[in-house]
Amino acid sequence: MTDPLNALAAWFQTILLNWGLPENVVSVILAVIGVVILCVFVLLVDIFLVWIERKVVARFQDRLGPNRLGPFGLIQPIADVIKLLIKEDITPNGASRFVYNIPPIIALATVLLMWAVIPLAPTILGADINVGVLYIIAIGAISTLGILMAGWASNNKYALLGAFRTVAQMISYEIPMLISLLIPVLLASSMGLNDIITDQSVWNILIVPLAGGIFLLSSIAELGRAPFDLVEAESEIVAGFHIEYTGMKFGLFYAGELLHALTVGAIFAILFLGGWRGPGVNLPYVGPFLGIFYLFIKAFIVYYVTMWFKYSLPRLRIDHMLGFNWKFLTPLALVLLIVVAILDKVLANANVSITIYVLVMFAANILIGWAAISWAKVYTRREREHFDQKNNTNSFQTQLSEENSSAVQS
Amino acid sequence: MTPEMLIFIIIATITLGAAFMVVSSRNLVHVALWLIVTLFGVALLFTLLSAGFLAIAQVVIYIGAIAILLIFAIMLTRRTKEDVKSTFNSNWRWALFIGFLFFTGLLVILMNWSGIAAAPPELDSRANPVVEIGLALVNPNGYLLVFELASVLLLAALVGSIFVAWDRRK
């Protein structure tokens, strides 16, 4: 037994069995303990995430961020939690009470459910189900449902508008996300997350970088984070679906959103960055902890990238966003899937070495990406010319003159 | 009574109770939400039969796509906030009678079937059900024809929706 955590579990199991408990009861007790430990760990990380988010946004906006409570303001999130807990809990008039109270729980619970299938280390994982990728999609669908319920039950026009936008956005962006998820599944020929990691002797991001890009973009849209945060566009619909929620109910939405972003980072790390793979994961005793460490480092790097997007790009318009999905991302993902499937079979039959395989795949991805972007460039230029002809304007010139005038003003 | 049986009875009660609420609830959105509970109950029944792939497909397709589109459509219609007076009309006795007839008929047929008390065969733990399903779907002796027919049907629906939405002014 080279894995301390599993050894601990086995030791505890023998103790319980010696007490005379039946075997199935013991396995249920162990499973419950495992779930509680995993949830507590993930939720503690979540509290820490609030601090990271506030610190990073502060640095992006040239501020200091929380720095009063504790070293580097580390105790600030705990103060936030206490504040949220003692705030008044308000239910709006005319709200459907039962439906109104469930969505905050769904928002956080669905994210925690995703951690059930995430392999933290080669031997430490909740459930190694053979449809792990599909399971994550299913849980995402349930979280959409929670937002829809919140928007409807609040009895507020802005909340309902926010919910409508969410559904339009999530249903559309689910398609390129699913297709780009199919590519790592195809390369590993398995839908189990642990199988996908074991199969990545070369990280998938080097084989199919374009699929990684599509997955990252569409999952940022699924998260409803900027630049796709029309769900809660402050200037248009105040706060969207969670406008009526106060106190800890809002807190659950907020915690769910942050944790969901980290979870997407972890899923990206598993599918494209090799998950727990890294030097020394097969060492006895320290290996599993190294695996957890590598997974979280990779997840946090992806999380940082999503924050980078969030704080440096302006919000998109809703028709642009949906057009981008249906006219650009979805066809691109479909073409990529077909090309990768054919190339994978051809190269496997040709018996090429792994270096040539990776190089050919990488080149094909870059080529498709380049072609798609140049086509998009031509298309948007044509659209803009049509628009100018219709309105007798010249958007290139107006843009230039606006830039000039603002330069003069400043 | 085995634990599996107990779990089955609990899930079946929830599913049937939610199904009853679907037809008797007076608020349209609540009806849709009860429908989701019913569909989720069916997914749990699939899990109980160790058909994990089917259970998750049920959640993705029925809850993730169909039910959400249903709620979306209901919310876009007007006056959904107003409760209707009663969801039953004068024919409910006939409906109950015919439903009871069908249920007893099914029960009699199933009780006479020899497989009703048989234990389910043990699954091979090494086999990957997803791979098996995939192979069966493209096997000419399996479900290839059905699979292709379903694809043609879906493609027709896609083409039809594009045709309906096409902007003819250009």
Between B30, B64, B69, which is nearest A138 by CB? B64
- Beta carbon pairs, A and B, within 8 Å: 68
A3: left (phi over 0), alpha (psi -120 to 50) or beta: beta
Is pLDDT at A381 greater than 70 in this prediction?
Answer: yes
Q: A11-25, A128-142, A196-210: which range is least confident on average?
A: A11-25
A81 domain residue, yes or no: no
φ and ψ at residue A334, rounded to 5 degrees: -65, -45
Q: A154-168, A181-195, A212-226, B74-88: which range is least confident on average?
A: B74-88
Collect all residues with Cβ–Cβ distance below 8 Å to A295 and sequence separation of at least 6.
Answer: A118, A119, A120, A121, A266, A269, A270, A275, A276
Enumerate the residues of chain A whose CB falls inside 8 A of the CB of residue B130.
130-131, 190-191
- Please state, as a whole number, how many other Cβ atoms lie within 10 Å of the Cβ of residue A18: 8
* Nearest residue on chain A to B80, alpha-carbon basis: A152
Distance between CA A122 and CA B123 in Å, rounded?
25
Between A138, A149, A152, which is nearest B56 by CB? A138
pLDDT average, residue stretch A308-329:
84
Enumerate the residues of chain B whose CB falls inside 8 A of the CB of residue A150.
none
Distance between CA A255 and CA A48 in Å, rounded?
10
A182-240 confidence digits (pLDDT tens): 899 888 888 888 888 888 888 888 888 899 999 998 988 888 777 777 767 667 777 77
Average pLDDT, chain B: 84
Average pLDDT, chain A: 82
- Please state, as a whole number, how many other Cβ atoms lie within 10 Å of the Cβ of residue A79: 14
Distance between CA A100 and CA A105 in Å, rounded?
10
Using an 8 Å CB-CB cutoff, list residues of chain A that contact chain B: 24, 94, 96, 99, 129-131, 134-135, 137-138, 140-142, 144-145, 148-149, 152, 155, 160, 163-164, 167, 171, 174, 190-191
Written as six digits, the tokens of A70 are 């504790």
Dihedral sign from CA coordinates of A100, A101, A103, A104? positive
Per DSSP, the residues of A278-289 read STTTTSTTTHHH
Written as six digits, the tokens of A363 are 């080149």
How many structural domains are present in chain A? 1
Q: Pick the residue with more confidence: A152 or A399? A: A152
- Report helix, strand or coil for A362: helix
Is pLDDT at B157 greater than 70 in this prediction?
Answer: yes
Between B36, B63, B68, which is nearest A171 by CB? B68
Residue to mutate among B37, B56, B135, with most A CBs inside 10 A, is: B56
* Closest C-alpha to B69, from B32, B23, B15: B32
Confidence of residue A405 (pLDDT cuts 50, 70, 90): low
% helix, strand, coil for chain B, step of 5:
75, 0, 25
Confidence of residue A393 (pLDDT cuts 50, 70, 90): low
Written as six digits, the tokens of A217 are 């973009």
Distance between CA A120 and CA B47 in Å, rounded?
24
User: Do A141 and B72 lie within an 8 Å CB cutoff?
Assistant: no
Amino acid identity of residue A324, one-letter, is: F
Using an 8 Å CB-CB cutoff, list residues of chain B that contact chain A: 3, 27, 29-30, 33, 36, 52-53, 56-57, 59-60, 63-65, 67-69, 71-72, 75, 81, 128-130
pLDDT average, residue stretch A84-111:
84
Q: What is the pLDDT of residue B83?
A: 63
Residue to mutate among A99, A130, A160, with most B CBs inside 10 A, is: A130
Confidence of residue B80 (pLDDT cuts 50, 70, 90): low
Between B27, B68, B81, which is nearest A167 by CB? B68
Share of chain B above pLDDT 90, in %: 24
pLDDT average, residue stretch B89-114:
89
Distance between CA A158 and CA A34 in Å, rounded?
41
A59 domain residue, yes or no: no
Q: Pick the residue with more confidence: B97 or A156? A: B97
Considering only the C-alpha atoms of chain A, give the largest distance between any 2 of them, rounded to a whole number of Å.
Answer: 86
Amino acid identity of residue B39, one-letter, is: L
A22 domain residue, yes or no: no
Collect all residues with Cβ–Cβ distance below 8 Å to A392 and sequence separation of at least 6.
Answer: none
Is pLDDT at B28 greater than 90 in this prediction?
Answer: no
Written as six digits, the tokens of B131 are 């791979």
Most confident of A25-29, A124-128, A258-262: A258-262
pTM of the model: 0.84
- Please state, as a whole number, how many other Cβ atoms lie within 10 Å of the Cβ of residue A239: 18
Between B3, B52, B63, which is nearest A131 by CB? B52
CA angle, A261 as apex, B67 and A179 as ends, to 5°?
55
Enumerate the residues of chain A whose CB falls inside 8 A of the CB of residue B71.
148, 152
Written as six digits, the tokens of A287 are 């290996």
Q: What separation in angstroms does the CA of A25 have from each of A21, A29, A298?
A: 7, 6, 37
A32-48 confidence digits (pLDDT tens): 888 888 889 888 888 88
* Closest C-alpha to A290, from A121, A58, A406: A121
φ and ψ at residue A121, rounded to 5 degrees: -155, 165
Written as six digits, the tokens of B132 are 């098996």
Q: Pick the residue with more confidence: A239 or A114? A: A114
Written as six digits, the tokens of A48 are 């820490």
A55-64 confidence digits (pLDDT tens): 888 888 888 8
Confidence of residue B41 (pLDDT cuts 50, 70, 90): very high
* Nearest residue on chain B to A191, alpha-carbon basis: B130
Is pLDDT at B63 greater than 80 in this prediction?
Answer: yes
DSSP state of B114: G
Enumerate the residues of chain B whose CB falls inside 8 A of the CB of residue A141.
59-60, 63-65, 68
Enumerate the residues of chain B whose CB falls inside 8 A of the CB of residue A135.
56
Q: What is the pLDDT of residue A397?
A: 56
User: Do B30 and A142 lie within an 8 Å CB cutoff?
Assistant: no
Written as six digits, the tokens of B118 are 């048989």
Q: What is the pLDDT of residue A15?
A: 82
* Closest C-alpha to A326, from A175, A164, A225, A213: A175
Share of chain A above pLDDT 70, in %: 93
* Nearest residue on chain B to A171, alpha-carbon basis: B65
Burial of B109 (0-12, 13-18, 19+ CB in 10 A): exposed
Is pLDDT at A254 greater than 50 in this prediction?
Answer: yes
Q: Pick the residue with more confidence: B19 or A347? A: B19
Between B3, B36, B56, which is nearest A135 by CB? B56
* Closest C-alpha to A181, from A221, A134, A119, A225: A134
Is pLDDT at A399 greater than 70 in this prediction?
Answer: no
Is pLDDT at A390 greater than 80 in this prediction?
Answer: no
User: Do A138 and B59 lie within an 8 Å CB cutoff?
Assistant: yes
Q: What is the pLDDT of residue A1?
A: 47
Q: Pick the residue with more confidence: A388 or B137? A: B137
Q: What distance in Å separates residue A334's CA from the closest CA in chain B?
A: 15
Exposure string for B18-57, b = 16+ CB within 10 A, e = fewer: bbebbeebebbbbbbbbbbbbbbbbbbbbeeeebbbbbbb
Confidence of residue A355 (pLDDT cuts 50, 70, 90): confident
Distance between CA B53 and CA A369 in Å, rounded?
33
Q: A265-269, A315-319, B36-40: which range is least confident on average?
A: A315-319
Q: Pick the residue with more confidence: B154 or A65? A: B154
Q: Pick the residue with more confidence: A336 or A155? A: A336
User: Do B130 and A130 lie within an 8 Å CB cutoff?
Assistant: yes
Q: Pick the residue with more confidence: A283 or A62? A: A62
Confidence of residue B14 (pLDDT cuts 50, 70, 90): very high
Q: Taking the domain B1-80, which CATH number applies?
A: 1.20.120.1200
User: Do B72 and A164 lie within an 8 Å CB cutoff?
Assistant: yes
User: Do B30 and A130 lie within an 8 Å CB cutoff?
Assistant: no
CA angle, A52 as apex, A48 and A90 as ends, to 5°?
65
Collect all residues with Cβ–Cβ distance below 8 Å to A157 and sequence separation of at least 6.
Answer: none
User: Do A141 and B36 lie within an 8 Å CB cutoff?
Assistant: no
A193 domain residue, yes or no: yes
Enumerate the residues of chain A whose CB falls inside 8 A of the CB of residue B3.
24
Distance between CA B116 and CA B113 in Å, rounded?
6
Long-range contacts made by residues B88-94, C-beta under 8 angstroms, separation at least 24? B88/B24
A74 domain residue, yes or no: no
